[in-house]
Amino acid sequence: MKKTALLLTLTFIIVLMAACSSDDENTEAADDAKTDSETQEEENEEESEESESEDNGSNLADASSEEEQDTEEEEEEYEPYEYEEVWEDVGLEVESSKDEINSDLEKFQPLLISDTKQDYRGYISSVLTSVQAEVTVGYHYKRFMNNVPDMLMDLKRVELETNEMDYARQQMIKAYEKAIDTIEPLESEIDDIHDGNFDTESMNELENNLLEVYHYEALACVQLQRLNEEEDIELELEGEDALLDFIDENLIEDKL
């Protein structure tokens, strides 16, 4: 009986010890799992930070590259406008004062816009487009002839005080006269144009004459640009960039 009791006691102790051992192992496993999870989270956070850092670095590099590209484009944009060589003998040297020049500008610039708030280039463009499309030529022809000759007369009448601004006026007079001489003969061609009988040779002649028109205006623009560089004059119709663009596109070197 005593042996039986002793065996039962030993068995109970062994079972109890096994249970305790199992709990310890489970606790350790749970702790290990928790530690592994925390380690993985830390690694993920580090990888995320590294990725963000790389992205930010890449974005900064892209932004820097874009800024450099913009700077290069700006430098390239203004490269053709170094007129000292090409335009060296165009226009007059600036001798008048800023006040005198701006006083002439106040008289000169409004004359380049018609009563319908359009410049002569707009009327020319409308005529040329209608000729190319072979429609509504008569309408745009009349608009041109009803406005540009009057603008020419206003330019001829105005009295300017400075030689520099008068040079610009004289070039614009040549541009207007050439434009009228080019567009006016189209009156007898309107029906042929609408019928598709305006031949390639006539079209080429029209376009070449208009190139000469814009060349004269470019000469006037060179003078205005000289004045703007020397005296920072008050240009109302076009900013400096537009002025330089027009010169660069329309000045014919062979005619200088």
Q: Which two tokens stand for residue 206?
A: 């029209």
Judged against a pLDDT cut of 70, whether residue 38 lies above it is answered with no
Q: Tell me, what's the pLDDT at 70?
A: 53
Question: Model's pTM, two decimal places?
Answer: 0.68
Could you tell me the sign of the dihedral formed by the alpha carbons of 132, 135, 137, 140, in that order? negative
Mean pLDDT, range 45-50, rounded to an integer: 52
Burial 58-80 (b: 16+ CB within 10 A, else e): eeeeeeeeeeeeeeeeeeeeeee
Q: How many CB atoms neighbour CB 127 within 10 A?
A: 26
Q: How far apart are CA 131 and CA 218, in angstroms?
A: 24
Q: How confident is the model at residue 255 (pLDDT cuts 50, 70, 90)?
A: confident
What are the percentages of helix, strand and coil residues in the chain, rounded to 5?
A: 85, 0, 15
The per-residue DSSP string of 30-71 comes to: HHHHHHHHHHHHHHHHHHHHHHHHHHHHHHHHHHHHHHHHHH
Q: How far apart are CA 158 and CA 172, in angstroms?
A: 12
Q: Which stretches of 119-162 are DSSP H helices?
A: 120-133, 137-157
CA angle, residues 206, 210, 213, in degrees to nearest 5: 145
Q: Tell me, what's the pLDDT at 69?
A: 57
Judged against a pLDDT cut of 60, whether residue 225 lies above it is answered with yes
Mean pLDDT, range 35-57, rounded to an integer: 51
Which residues are within 8 A (CB) of 38 and not within 5 positions of it... i.e. 6 or more apart?
none
Judged against a pLDDT cut of 70, whether residue 44 lies above it is answered with no
Phi, psi (rounded to 5 degrees) for 158: -65, 140
Helix (H, G, I), strand (E, B) or coil at 5: helix
Instruction: Select the highest-mean-pLDDT range: 35-44, 99-108, 231-240.
Output: 99-108
pLDDT tens by residue, 70-108: 555 554 454 545 555 667 788 899 999 999 999 999 999
* Residue 39 CB burial class (10 angstroms; 0-12, 13-18, ≥19): exposed
Instruction: Assess contact for 64 and 137: CB atoms under 8 A.
Output: no
pLDDT tens by residue, 166-220: 999 999 999 999 999 999 999 999 999 999 999 999 999 999 999 999 999 999 9
Q: Tell me, what's the pLDDT at 242?
A: 84
pLDDT tens by residue, 110-156: 999 988 889 999 999 999 999 999 999 999 999 999 999 999 999 99
Judged against a pLDDT cut of 50, whether residue 15 lies above it is answered with no
Q: Tell me, what's the pLDDT at 43?
A: 52
Q: How many CB atoms neighbour CB 144 within 10 A?
A: 22
Judged against a pLDDT cut of 70, whether residue 159 lies above it is answered with yes
Q: Between 124 and 28, whose confidence is greater?
A: 124
Q: How far apart are CA 237 and CA 110, in angstroms?
A: 9
